[in-house]
Structure 1
Amino acid sequence: MPPVRGRLTRSAPLAPLVWFKAGGPAEWLFEPADADDLSAFLAALDPAVPVMALGLGSNLIVRDGGVAGVVIRLGKPFAFARADGDTMTCGGGTSGILAASTARDAGVAGIEFLRSIPGTVGGFVRMNGGAYGREVADILVSCTVVGRDGTVTRMAAADLDYTYRHSALPDGAIVIEATVRGTPGDPAAIQAEMDRIAAAREASQPLRAKTGGSTYKNPPGHKAWALIDAAGCRGLTRGDAQVSEKHCNFLLNLGHATSADIEALGEDVRARVKADSGVTLEWEIRRVGMA
């Protein structure tokens, strides 16, 4: 491995870092000291070594065999949000809650939905994260990415070719910063909207469970949860993995589920929905690593 100023750990457990609390280790875990540290590391790293970015580990299944190569986790140096008029610049490691709260304090409306997405800005930008009728494509101005070769590039929102939960960001590219634009708003009204979103999530989603968040994309013309419910999958189990009874587009780890249990349950659901409705559910949760 190239020399670093941040932290580089071999055979690093990933289960504590992901919401499902399951899965194997990273061959290497790199937590860069800053953008220059990340860029220099990637420039010097053998191009054959795979690289994967890890945010808060929410929409992710890490398979039990672990992840080969280097997992890069953006920590505190990349967790910031700064408002300037109706725009805001956030680090790639910034949580949705911090981004939304900073926007509120600055009187920037239209960013409230980030409060409801479990993850970091880097992941939101890559996956076009969204909720409650809004998505990152609606607010992104530009982002800064570090490519697999260490090259730092500024990309306009139009360069990302956004579609539903998908962007054209190159494989291995890591989002280290993003600028978003809202509209002028009253902080009290923005807080009220954030409270409404938080209450709606609390009422409808299993937020206090070991889960990966929304499991499947909504197929055109359908709601994934409704298809799953109609196929009789609410409460379905495999080992210690369960389809949530509160919101059946969520999978849960009830205690000691392996990632294999969780992923296999997810495939059981897809098969039942296909047989019942003819619709093929597409995974929204990323599944990475070796079985």
Structure 2
Amino acid sequence: MTIRAVATGVGHYLPERIVPNAEFEKTLDTTDEWIRTRSGIERRHFAAEGETTSQMAIKAAEQALLNAELSADDIDCVIVATSTPDLTFPSVATMVQEGLGMTRGFGYDVQAVCAGFIFALANANGMILSGQAQRVLVIGAETFSRIMDWTDRSTCVLFGDGAGALVLEARTGSGSSQDRGILACDLNSDGRYREMLYVDGGVSTSGVAGKLRMQGNPLFRQAVGKLAATAEASLEKAQLSAEDVDWIVPHQANIRIIQGTAKKMGVPMDQVIVTVQDHGNTSAASIPLALSVGVAEGKITPGQVLVAEAIGGGLAWGSVVIRW
């Protein structure tokens, strides 16, 4: 028998404040139509004053635990993917442990920007396959509104805040592609592309958080090819093909990237979970948010094959194939 990391619960949290595109028309040379046409985004959520990444992560985690019918005491490990932690240290994961009342096990953060949740899933899968943990709580949580340059219309209209969480549990399988759980992972990075997406601050440089900077067109050209390639690589590892895919659950950065990747893979858009119109780009939170919404809407059901893929600053990109 083979050990698999099986999804047993999912949940999400979005801040109360909803910001429609029209709100940016008051301060920027932009329009609702311009934003929709270029990104597919119609609205996004912004964290309230004083609302932190860890607080949102805790709320998403509580929903995932409820969905899995588990308590914090059942969890061995918490992994949080984020680029916007509350503090330089300690990790958001340890704050989540405290918030959930979890006094056993361990937690740590993963930083791969928008690809963070994919890297965190691969980490969680490794923990379970190695026997280090039986149940892992994997969270993506971001407050990107805190690192926006509000004078840059090309970036500040794209991002939002939120959190999503997934419970993975060790289960036995046959070792075939028919097993439930994570079937394959593919991770990549290339530091030569750093200037395409970065934040111009940090502890050892400016001593402040800095603001997000992005080269949109070059990043777009890199994204479609790399996302399709990593998805195909993980499918091949899982001994599956695009024809076996029930849903693509992509990083929700831009509707044109999502459409381009699906087309390159030969998967129709009606088999793609799309939430970018409601959430904007929530970085590491976007895939778990989309998973949670897909499950809540009855689209994602047990036994289906999902491909989750993302690309972010670094550049870092990757994919995971999971049978739900």
Judge same fold: TM > 0.5, yes or no: no
Where is the helix percentage greater, Structure 1 or Structure 2?
A: 2
Which structure's relative contact order is higher, taking Cα pairs within 8 Å and 6+ residues apart? 2
